[in-house]
Amino acid sequence: MTTTPLRAPTAPTAAAAFPEAPFVHLPPAFIEEALDAVPREAAQRFTDSWNDLPADPYLGTDTPYRYRRYDAFRFVGTDLERLPQRPFVQDRAVNRLVGGVPRTFGTLHPAVAEGPALRAVVQAFRGLLPAAERDASDTCGIHQIRVVARSDAAGDPAPEGIHQDGHHYVGQVLIRRQDVLGAESRLYDLDRRQIHQARLTEPFESILLDDRRVFHDVSPVTASPGAGTGVRDMLLVDFFPGTELTKGTSRD
């Protein structure tokens, strides 16, 4: 059964709904409002940075279709402090494809990692978390991901299928969708019954989910008719306790 999206025009409305439901589907205005206080040039550098992501070398395909950067940060008051780079490892129970494999991805460009746009987006999501969870989730992972679809090959945003990421909360933000079809975001309850489906189409349209209460996946993307190549750019923001990093298992 598919539920009606929980859309929120402002953060207070979303905050009231989110603890009751395992997810909230946010319109572009939520992120747009967070970026209103950011200089336009800084916001533009932030979105343009998806044009310079290195290929993900861990997919096992001859031609790469996913490109990404990753960094982990800890919250210091209202600011973010980038943590030293370390191999990125997921439990085998979480990722059936590359679980247990240390993966090293390119780090965020300094203009992104140190810029105001990233902080505005992260703090907007953090403001929706239940108050007690904000202190527990004192660390976040930032993923910049581009999935490319070509006329002769689809791109798969979630090759692991229906899954959880192994975090407390996950924010998913559409940055760009150009010349692609598909990419249906689907959420499931803990019995893997579908409870929500949405095709994110507008820049900054977002979903924030409680990763402990839902599974999720995304259908493949194909290039639009007549387009040789299409792209889908996403920002993922993972919230989790810093103790997970001390265990050596930074999770996706």
pLDDT of 190: 95
Residues near 113 by beta carbon (within 8 Å), at least 6 away in sequence: 71, 73, 82, 107, 142
pLDDT of 87: 66
pLDDT of 216: 94
Alpha carbons 164 and 183: distance in angstroms, whole number: 17
Alpha carbons 176 and 54: distance in angstroms, whole number: 17
Cα–Cα distances in Å, from 121 out to 63, 88, 172, 189?
32, 23, 11, 27
What SS3 state is found at 134? Answer: helix
What is the rounded radius of gyration, in angstroms, for the C-alpha atoms of the chain? 17
pLDDT of 159: 85
pLDDT of 247: 55
pLDDT tens-digit profile, the chain (252 residues): 333 333 333 333 444 456 688 999 999 999 999 999 999 999 999 999 999 999 987 776 678 899 999 999 999 988 999 999 776 654 555 555 554 565 678 899 999 999 999 999 999 999 999 888 888 899 999 999 999 999 989 999 988 889 988 889 999 999 999 999 999 999 999 999 999 999 999 999 999 999 999 999 999 999 999 999 999 999 999 999 988 775 544 433
Q: Which amino acid is at 245?
A: L
Alpha carbons 98 and 92: distance in angstroms, whole number: 7
Q: Can you give the pTM of this predicted structure?
A: 0.88
Q: What tokens were used for 228?
A: 């040789």
Burial 108-133 (b: 16+ CB within 10 A, else e): bbeebbebebbbbbbebbbebbeeee
pLDDT of 31: 97
